[in-house]
Structure formats: C-alpha cells, structure tokens
Amino acid sequence: MNKLLLHPAAKPLVFLLCLLPFGWLVFGAFTEGLGANPAEHLIRSTGDWTLRFLCIVLAVTPLRVSFKLTALARYRRMLGLFAYFYVAVHLLSYAWFDMGFEVAEIAKDIAKRPFILVGFAAFVLLTPLAATSFNRAIKALGAKRWQRLHKLVYLIAGLGLLHFFWMRAGKNDFAEVFVYAGIVAALMAWRVWHFFRQKKVIARPATASRAQPSR
C-alpha cells in the first residue's frame, strides 16, 4: 500500500478525486440537476463535504500509525486544503445565493443566528491553517509552533459539528449529525489512547534501567 501511495500518479489521482464532488455540483448547476432549490442544495452539499474532509484529515494519523502507512503523511496537507476549499465555497454560496453579497446583511445574520456565527468562527480558525500549509510557513514558524497552531483542527471539527447540529435542530433531524459526531469522537478517542500508550512505552525503559542492579 505504501508503494501505491508513493507512486507518481497517486497524488494527482487523489487530487482529482477530492475535486470530483465540486465538479459534480458545477455540472448539476449547469444542467439543472440540483433539485427544486439549487442554492440550498449547493450550500448544504459544500457544508457536508467540508465535514467529510475534516473527518478524513483527522483519520490520516490513526490510519498511518495503526497500519504503518507512512506514505499517507504526504497527503494530509492537500486534504486539509481541500477542507478549506469546500468551506470557502460553502461560505461563498451562502454569501452569494442567500444574501446577495450584502455585507451589512451578512454581518447582521452572522451575529443574529448562532449556527452561522459558529460556522463562520470555524472558517476564520481554519484560514491560518490553510495559509501556513506550506514549507516556507513551517520554516518561518518553527516545527513546534506550527504543530501547536495546526492542533486547532480539533476545535474546528467541534465547531463544524456544532454548526451542523444547530442547523439540523430546526428540523429535528439529527441522524447525520450523530454519524459525524461518532466518527470524530472515535478519532479523538484514538488520539487519547495513543497518547497514553506512548507515555507507557517511554516510561518502561526508564523503569527498567532504574531496576537494574549497579555494578
């Protein structure tokens, strides 16, 4: 699997697969295939794909470590940028189709409706992560600072779930919310388990060395 992931054609193929949902939406828009309310379909679909890509990004490390797929690391940055791409299209669709680019009205709507405020906060927090997803930014910030900054993805995923929950609360439809929440919870639980497991592994050699008799 690592050999396949390192193949020169693998990364362009993954890029095209990530772009496929957007291409399908554009095709649907031009062929009137987005249903009775195309604007709502576009907004909802891009929001769904944002959550999906956040879940995929969070799944990279568990999959890489659990199955020793070291080559997966080279895809994480691209997947994160696609999460930002879809949230940007999501916000653009809302600003365009729902609000007609009326900045004052958009500001009022964000302040008035909590689920939009939370979604906008997630977009704002995701922006510096996208802006620093380049080698020069990593060198400028330093590896430790860069890693601390990019841990914001956990908070962003939580805000994305809360945004989705409040949006669905009006229709009392939480089935999909629970699916995404379960996936994120499982991925976060793995991280907690892995953290404590690593601490035990590190502690064992130290304990063993202290237990050895002095000569």
What's the pLDDT tens digit per position in 122-162? Answer: 999 999 999 999 989 999 999 999 999 999 999 999 999 99
Which amino acid appears at position 96 of this protein? W
Residue 171 confidence (pLDDT)? 82
Q: Which domain holds residue 138?
A: 2-192
Asked whether the predicted pLDDT for residue 58 surpasses 90, the reply is: yes
Structural domain contains residue 171: yes
Q: How many domains would you assign to the chain?
A: 1
Higher pLDDT, 203 or 156: 156
Residue pair 18/78 in contact by the 8 Å Cβ criterion:
yes
Whole-number Å distance between alpha carbons of 131 and 152: 13
Mean pLDDT of the chain: 92
Q: Which residues contact 177 (CB under 8 A, 6 or more apart)?
A: 161, 164, 165, 168
The pLDDT-based confidence of 212 (bands split at 50, 70, 90) is low
State the Cα torsion 37-169-109-36 to the nearest 10°: 0
Residue 172 confidence (pLDDT)? 85
Q: Which residues contact 158 (CB under 8 A, 6 or more apart)?
A: 184
Structural domain contains residue 201: no
Structural domain contains residue 207: no
Asked whether the predicted pLDDT for residue 214 surpasses 60, the reply is: no
Residue 215 confidence (pLDDT)? 46
What's the pLDDT tens digit per position in 63-76? Answer: 999 999 999 999 99
Q: What are the structure tokens assigned to 206, written together?
A: 């130290």
What's the pLDDT tens digit per position in 76-97? Answer: 999 999 999 999 999 999 999 9
Whole-number Å distance between alpha carbons of 106 and 156: 21
Of the chain, the percentage scoring pLDDT greater than 70 comes to: 94
Structural domain contains residue 204: no
The pLDDT-based confidence of 213 (bands split at 50, 70, 90) is low
Q: For residue 113, what is the DSSP state?
A: -
Q: What are the structure tokens assigned to 180, written together?
A: 């995404």
Of the chain, the percentage scoring pLDDT greater than 90 comes to: 85
